[in-house]
């Protein structure tokens, strides 16, 4: 399904009509993968629409820029405000998926040209439901271990959410789907569990929540961090660890986390059922705690919800 268009995209400092947010075919990012981006969700809550962990996503965007030495033409606060503006200007009251992207634009051609191409910044948002088809929130999905490994340390930095990294994700995800699985899991170059093509991976063994450590070529997912905090707060022992592939086959429960998939149970890996082959009790507890943040049942003691003033004055659109 194509992206359901909204009215405005914030593009290089102003709101422009959706169809006018275009780039030149000779933009650096299109040829050399020089983009960094984020994916956020806004949720409908009893107190109005709120963006989940906005400041943390913006910080990760700046971290990605730092790794790649991309100069950012806007401050973090300007981008936070622009994100709120995109939600308000498009009247996305029922929640949204939000996509900020920063990329090297049109300038000199060449991988590392003498003069840096200009950095362009866009933030779009639209209504979006589930990523992996979901009745799967309960029943879980079938995953496989990919024949493609994740990017190796000291090649492409996994902690940067950069466009180029998603070539690896495309290989992993497309192979899985071609073979009839919902998602593929990449191993790190030392053969240990890493993550899904666009999600972090968790497993539960004997009541302990385990997830690959950041050293195993994973993105430092904000849902991953959220789940670990919610788990620890509930007295669930939680560890970041080096996990061999077979630990997943022997797990009592397993699930993916990510802004898109939220918390999605994994019911089998390589056709081997995980635990009882359906969502386990700890996964359900964590899903309830997570979704409770948006229904109001879970107290947001971290200030993760950034409420959007839908009546805020809108900057006039131009372009």
Ligand X SMILES: Cc1ncc(COP(=O)(O)O)c(C=O)c1O
So which residues are the catalytic ones? Answer: 161
Is the Cα dihedral 162, 141, 296, 289 positive or negative? Answer: negative
Residue pair 219/159 in contact by the 8 Å Cβ criterion: yes
Minimum CB separation from ligand X for residue 115, in Å?
31
**CA 69, CA 33: separation in Å to the nearest integer?**
14
**Contact pick of 28, 99, 216, 224 for ligand X (by CB under 6 A):** 224
Is there binding between residue 258 and ligand X (CB under 6 A)? Answer: yes
The number of residues in the chain equals 319
**Contact pick of 100, 173, 198, 212 for ligand X (by CB under 6 A):** 198
**CA 61, CA 104: separation in Å to the nearest integer?**
14
**CA 38, CA 55: separation in Å to the nearest integer?**
12
Q: Which is nearer to ligand X, 259 or 268 (CB)?
A: 259
Residue nearest to ligand X (CB): 221
The DSSP secondary-structure symbol of 316 reads P
Minimum CB separation from ligand X for residue 158, in Å?
8
SS3 120: strand
Here's the x/- map for ligand X, 40-79, by CB under 6 A: it reads as ----------------------------------------
Q: Which residue has the tokens 């290089």?
A: 12
Q: How many residues bind ligand X (CB under 6 A)?
A: 14
**Contact pick of 64, 146, 211, 259 for ligand X (by CB under 6 A):** 259
Contact residues for ligand X, defined by CB under 6 A:
39, 169, 195, 198-200, 219, 221-224, 257-259
């Amino acid at each position: 399904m194509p992206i359901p268009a909204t009215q405005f995209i914030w593009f290089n400092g102003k709101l422009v009509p959706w169809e006018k947010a275009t780039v030149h075919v000779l933009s650096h990012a299109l040829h050399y993968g020089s983009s960094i981006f984020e994916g956020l969700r806004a949720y409908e809550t009893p107190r109005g629409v709120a963006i989940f962990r906005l400041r943390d996503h913006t910080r990760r965007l700046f971290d990605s820029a730092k790794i790649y030495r991309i100069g950012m033409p806007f401050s973090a606060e300007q981008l936070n405000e622009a994100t709120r503006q995109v939600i308000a200007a498009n009247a996305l009251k029922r929640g949204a998926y939000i996509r900020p992207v920063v990329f090297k634009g049109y300038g000199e051609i060449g991988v590392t040209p003498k003069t840096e191409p200009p950095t362009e910044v866009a933030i779009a948002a639209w209504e979006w439901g589930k990523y992996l088809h979901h009745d799967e929130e309960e029943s879980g999905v079938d995953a496989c271990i990919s024949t493609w490994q994740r990017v190796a340390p000291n090649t492409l930095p996994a902690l940067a959410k950069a466009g180029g990294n998603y070539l690896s994700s495309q290989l992993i995800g497309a192979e899985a789907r071609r073979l009839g699985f919902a998602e593929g899991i990449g191993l790190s170059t030392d053969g240990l569990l890493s993550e899904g093509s666009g999600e972090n991976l968790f497993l539960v063994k004997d009541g302990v929540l385990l997830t690959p450590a950041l050293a195993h070529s994973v993105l430092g997912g904000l849902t991953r961090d959220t789940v670990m905090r919610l788990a620890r707060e509930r007295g669930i022992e939680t560890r970041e660890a080096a996990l061999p592939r077979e630990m997943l086959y022997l797990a009592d429960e397993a699930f993916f986390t990510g802004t898109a998939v939220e918390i999605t149970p994994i019911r089998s890996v390589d056709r081997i059922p995980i635990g009882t082959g359906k969502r386990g009790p700890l996964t359900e507890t964590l899903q309830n705690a997570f979704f409770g943040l948006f229904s109001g049942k879970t107290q947001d003691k971290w200030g993760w919800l950034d409420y959007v003033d839908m009546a805020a004055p809108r900057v006039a659109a131009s372009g």
